[in-house]
Amino acid sequence: MTSLRRCDGVTRRNALQLGLGGFFGTGLVDGLRAVAETQRSGGPSATAKSCILIWMDGGPTHFETFDPKPDAPAEYRGDFSDIETAVSGVGFSQHMTKLAASLNDYAMIRSIRHDQGNHGAGNHYMMTGAPPRIPVGCGAFVSFHPSIGSVVARELGKDNGLPAYFSMPQMSRSGGPNFLGARYAPFVVGDDPNNQRFKVRDVALPRDLSEIRFTSRTDLRAKVDRMVRIQDEAAGDPVLAFDEYYRQGHNLVTSPEAQKAFDVHQEPEAIRDRYGRNSFGQRCLLARRLVEAGVPFITVYDGGWDHHSDIFGALGKRLPQWDNSVATLIQDLKERGLLDSTLVIALGEFGRTPKISTLSGQNTPGRDHWANAMSVLMAGGKTPGGTVIGATDRKGFSAVDRVLSPENFVSTIYHKMGIDPNKVVYTPEGRPTHLVSDPTPIRELI
């Protein structure tokens, strides 16, 4: 099994130039027009109510997934062959069979690039749309800006007994709320829905505790707990954060919607089999159930994409299952009439190096970090299916056509969910902060 441990990072460079470059790369006139139209209308019209973000932690290779280079020399193209997709002239790598056949149901972006080539910084940039302000190490958990999930939770969350933001089975290192506060942190579901005894922490009442008794204990806690709270959530008061998590847990325990959403065992066996009887597949299924329950943002955290070695052996085993689960999720949402109102996005922090190499101390070849090229899947929310945006060069070194930035990507998500990416929010100190410094969405996806 692929290790989930990440490698050492590389030097961070300034990201500000690329943020501006992405704006002008979309076309100055188009960019200004999109911003002006948003301002005149008072904000974008929502085409999606929910978003499922499949986070491929570690940096998935674009070569062995959605952007193969069959005409490149062997040391670049790798061991896998390419296959045709449903869109003429567009090829995927050989293991992406189901997604290749269903490309008309989603869009593929091949031209996002940035210059944050280590895990901490790259994760932050793609999760927030904001480049880190200071050098960030490879293993760092950093939060200089609220994550997409936390912003969506703040803007679209409802008081229906369910948290507005879930992450399974853990939170991405930059998936938190930063100055928005603990209320908009994700509720983490660490349990494995592929386990026959799957039961989400804090959702099911203990057998010896009735709901009346549970509620009375809650009342007692409220009366006894007279500790002074630091009301500034961004100040990092751990007790305040605990109170918020306690409130979420209490709401989940007493919420019929939560009980129903998490009871994955009620799914027909055939549906569970379609998604794949593995942890990732069943989390994709659970994400669909949370969408049905009205949750606006769900992250399916999928670790282990940092393939510095054994890239072909590891992906030869992993990709068929991954391809099946993601294709099934998109198709299942479509069959249920939910795809038009649900975004499905799959990406990691960056792509992988064009040239294959065997690192010192390793016995098998792999690819290193590479932020100049990456592939991003986007489905749903009325995203035009069969759309392939941008291109990398013949050897996969860099995005060269329709070059886009993380800001453009994040702005597109906000735009499709009816959130103005140019909106200004305020830190507890009163400092105004734009959600995204460049609010220009990717026009082909709107």
What integer is the mean pLDDT of 66-84? 97
**Residue 204: what pLDDT?**
46
Tell me, yes or no, whether 238 lies in a domain: no
The mean-pLDDT minimum among 100-109, 184-193, 367-376 falls in: 184-193
Q: Confidence class of residue 240 from pLDDT cuts 50, 70 and 90? A: low
Nearest alpha-carbon partner for 101 in 408, 326, 350, 419: 326
Judge whether 234 lies within some domain. no
Between strands 82-84 and 91-93, the pairing is antiparallel
Residue 111 or residue 237, greater confidence: 111
Tell me what pLDDT residue 7 has: 65
Residue type, 64: E
pLDDT at residue 1 in the model: 39
Question: pLDDT tens for residues 340-351?
Answer: 999 999 999 999
Identify whether the C-beta of residue 110 lies closer than 8 Å to the C-beta of residue 444: no
Query: CB neighbours (10 Å) of residue 264?
Result: 19
In-domain check, residue 123: yes
CA distance 357 to 351: 15
Give domain status of residue 1, yes or no.
no
Alpha carbons 417 and 343: distance in angstroms, whole number: 9
317-333 residue pLDDT tens: 999 999 999 999 999 99
- In this structure, is residue 121 part of a structural domain? yes
Owner of token pair 């709270």: 229
Picking from 21-25, 37-41, 124-128, 339-343, which range would have the lowest pLDDT averaged per residue? 21-25
pLDDT of residue 356: 97
User: Considering the domain boundaries, does residue 261 fall inside one?
Assistant: no
Residue 361 backbone zone (phi > 0: left; psi -120 to 50: alpha; other: beta): left
CATH code of the domain in which 406 resides: 3.40.720.10
In a domain, 228, yes or no: no
Print the domain residue range for 324: 16-196+269-445
The encoded tokens of residue 228 equal: 């002074």
Looking at residue 286, what is its pLDDT?
97
If one counts the domains in the chain, the total is: 1
Q: What is the pLDDT of residue 254?
A: 67
pLDDT digits (tens, 9 = 90+) for 26-58: 344 444 444 455 554 457 899 999 999 999 999
Q: Which residue has the higher pLDDT, 418 or 216?
A: 418
Place 195 in a pLDDT band, splitting at 50, 70 and 90: very high
Average per-residue pLDDT for the chain: 85
- pLDDT, tens digit (0-9, with 9 covering 90-100), for 241-252: 656 666 666 667
Residue 355, domain member (yes or no): yes
Rounded to an integer, what distance in angstroms lies between the CA atom of residue 348 and that of residue 127?
Answer: 9
Angstrom distance (rounded) from CA 119 to CA 148: 18
199 band by pLDDT with thresholds 50, 70 and 90: confident
141-163 average pLDDT score: 90
Does 209 score more than 60 pLDDT?
Answer: no
